[in-house]
Amino acid sequence: MAYKIWSWAVVLLLSVYSVTPSATLSEEEASFITKHALPDGPLKDKVDKVMADFPPLHGMHGINREHDAFPPTKYTLFHQAGFVPLKEFRVFVHYDLPEFLIKRGRTSSDLKNIGRIYMADKMRECIKKFQMQNIVIPQKYLYHLPGKPARIHNENYVVLSEKLALRNKEENLKALWHLPKQTVQELLTLIKECGYHDSHAYNIACLPNREGIVAIIDTEPQTHSVSPRVYRARLMQYLNPETCAGLGDL
């Protein structure tokens, strides 16, 4: 039942934050923003300088196409400002900001992007509760876009996700197959407790030079109730069956 409780918790928590971009900032939002803001210091100063040139997201939400199908004017704007669009114009990198991936919402009203931070928090709580030693959650920050209203909304915020050194896809698949039983047990427990739905092989990164340690690199939450058995099965197809023996019912 844990996954159902968490699924509904995500919906309720995100519903606290109105999809109206100019609404008054609530006490709950103020607390959330303070907790997850990038701390003051040289790194924030660098981020502020880079993000001052981030092109407006207005009109981009809902576009999920590769760059060759994207309006050339928008594509040019991002490149001129030093931003390189990656996955479906929802993830960006910048030449002068190698520390982070910059993630935007899929649509203007969809709060799953901001929900990545909720899920990351939930995963850290789970890791602490079960004393897991082999799972890493990259740091994520809620970043307020310059000149935008303070209200939590996809038009006003992006998520800065810590960029890790990763294996290529083929090497990661091989490493997943050879994960030790303890790491696999922790992963399956995490999926069950958090209802993590995006548990396909490319979101579970086996860190190079850190044997048996994995990072959950995408923490987008689910907003509907589906048994975590489905999500565990999605991951287990990439794991050695001998390692998974006896763990399917965690």
- Both ends of the chain: CA-CA distance in Å? 13
Helix (H, G, I), strand (E, B) or coil at 159: strand
Q: pLDDT tens digit string along 84-134?
A: 888 667 889 998 999 999 998 766 556 778 889 999 999 999 999 999 999
191 with 235: CB under 8 angstroms?
Answer: yes
pLDDT at 169 over 70: yes
DSSP conformation class of 179: -
Inside any domain, residue 215: no
Of all residues in the chain, what percent carry a pLDDT higher than 90? 42
Can you tell me the distance from the alpha carbon of 82 to that of 95, in angstroms, rounded to the nearest whole number? 6
What is residue 110's predicted lDDT score, i.e. its pLDDT? 62
Q: What is the pLDDT of residue 250?
A: 56
Tokens of 176: 């997943």
**Residue 148 pLDDT class (50, 70, 90 cuts):** confident
Token reading at 233? 């099965």
Q: 15: pLDDT confidence band, cut at 50, 70 and 90?
A: very low
Domain that holds residue 98: 16-114+139-162
Question: How far apart, in whole angstroms, are the C-alpha atoms of residue 167 and residue 91?
Answer: 19
Q: What average pLDDT does the structure give for the chain?
A: 81
Question: What is d(CA 161, CA 152) in angstroms, rounded to the nearest whole number?
Answer: 17
Residue 177 located in a structural domain:
no
Q: Which of 7-21, 46-60, 122-136, 214-228 has the highest mean pLDDT?
A: 122-136
Q: Is 105 a domain residue? A: yes
pLDDT at 24: 72
For the segment 37-55, the average pLDDT, to the nearest whole number, is 92
Greater confidence (196 vs 48) lies with 48
Domain assignment of residue 1, yes or no:
no
Total structural domains within the chain: 1
Look at residues 91, 93, 121, 84 and name the one whose alpha carbon lies nearest to residue 105: 91
Give this prediction's pTM. 0.81
Is residue 230, in this structure, part of any structural domain at all? no
Instruction: Write down the pLDDT at residue 245.
Output: 85
Query: Is 92 among the domain residues?
Result: yes
Identify whether 187 is part of a domain. Answer: no
Look at residue 132 and tell me if it is in a domain. Answer: no
